Amino acid sequence: MNPDPQNKRVIIHVDMDAFFAAVEQRRRPELKGRPVVVGGDGDPFKRRVVSAASYEARTYGIRSAMPLREAYRRCPGAVFLPVDFEAYTRASEEVFNILKGYSQLIEPAGLDEAFLDMTAACGGVEEFGTSEVRERFEQASVIAKDIKKRIREGTGLTASVGIGPNKLIAKIASDMNKPDGLTIIREEDIQRVLFPLPPSRLWGVGKKTAERLKSMGIETIGQLAGAPAETLMDAFRKGIGQGLHEHALGIDESPVITTWERRSMSREVTYQWDIRGDTRDMKVIRETLSLLAGEIAGALRQEGYRGRTITVKIRYHDFQTVTHAKTIPHYTDSRDVIEEGAVGLLSAFQWTKKVRLVGIRVSNFE
């Protein structure tokens, strides 16, 4: 047998269940079992979107990124709460402190999920047959159960865990039995499990790519896997076509990266409606900057970065994109400092055209 280290790994993906909403329910026990929607400043009549919905809220069809107003229409009895990144960042640290006890090889993927490379812990990358693979995955599932238990006991929150031979499969697995799930996809299960799913479950397949694939008659991962690689490379940029083909076959060689050097941290929002740079809508833009600054500050702290250059990006309705930046005297990971810097840059932009996107980037790290 040909041992391919990248296909013989044991990867665990830990994904916290409805994280923001669960943190809110944890500190306000009276909200347990009730539909909770976290988004904007907690006012469902403002033009902001859902950041997280508890599972009780999801039964009403409420989803992340849905306008708060629509969430309210679906469940007026839900509890609407403001986004509190400070609290979620602290809770995230609690979870990561637990995860660090299991592997040195941890890659955070946001505040509420992480990949753990458990290959070494489960016997290393030796040449082995099917029975050893089974055994390694059994070991990993024991570890996964322990991780879930410690998270539950240590934080009062639940996580769904997926185990697979690579990151792509582990992430698909963790998503299969939410909440509080534990799902193993072994290499021999990949086709049976993956092929019936829609291509949107794969990395990098957004709405646009999914629509494009549909127009080509491709509506499942199995059909995608069956499409000739050349056809995909013709239809998409070469690298993307190749990636789609490999991912559809469950192949993912990307390593679990713990210490790569990030150069910048950015967040942006595309409005559902183009908005004007008039006084009323400037308020919306300022609110957006405040939200984005909070997200960036949380992510910077999570990953241990501080930056000195703040850039604001505006894309107008005609897709013209303009950025303005400024460098401040001290390195920062503070929401208030980032927000103040970003708001200060607004006067550098022209506000004669309608705006479709606003973003902030922090760079020039310590």
Size of the site for Mg ion (CB under 5 A): 3
Alpha-carbon distance of 61 to 48, in angstroms, equals 17
Q: How far is the CB of 178 from Mg ion (least distance, A)?
A: 8
Choosing from 24, 56, 107, 113, the catalytic residue is 113
The CA-based angle 60-48-212, given to 5 degrees, is 75
Alpha-carbon distance of 35 to 77, in angstroms, equals 8
Nearer to Mg ion, 15 or 24 (CB): 15
Question: Binding of Mg ion at residue 112 (CB under 5 A)?
Answer: yes
Nearer to Mg ion, 168 or 227 (CB): 168
Nearer to Mg ion, 122 or 182 (CB): 182
Q: How far is the CB of 57 from Mg ion (least distance, A)?
A: 14
- Binding window for Mg ion (CB under 5 A); candidates: 20-28, 112-120, 271-279, 312-320: 112-120
Q: How far is the CB of 25 from Mg ion (least distance, A)?
A: 14
Q: How far is the CB of 95 from Mg ion (least distance, A)?
A: 11
- Binding window for Mg ion (CB under 5 A); candidates: 33-41, 111-119, 242-250, 273-281: 111-119
Nearer to Mg ion, 16 or 269 (CB): 16
* Known catalytic residue at 339: no
Question: Binding of Mg ion at residue 15 (CB under 5 A)?
Answer: yes
Nearer to Mg ion, 16 or 75 (CB): 16
Q: How far is the CB of 168 from Mg ion (least distance, A)?
A: 17
**Encoding tokens for residue 126?**
């030796």
Residues serving a catalytic function are: 113
Site residues for Mg ion per CB under 5 A: 15-16, 112
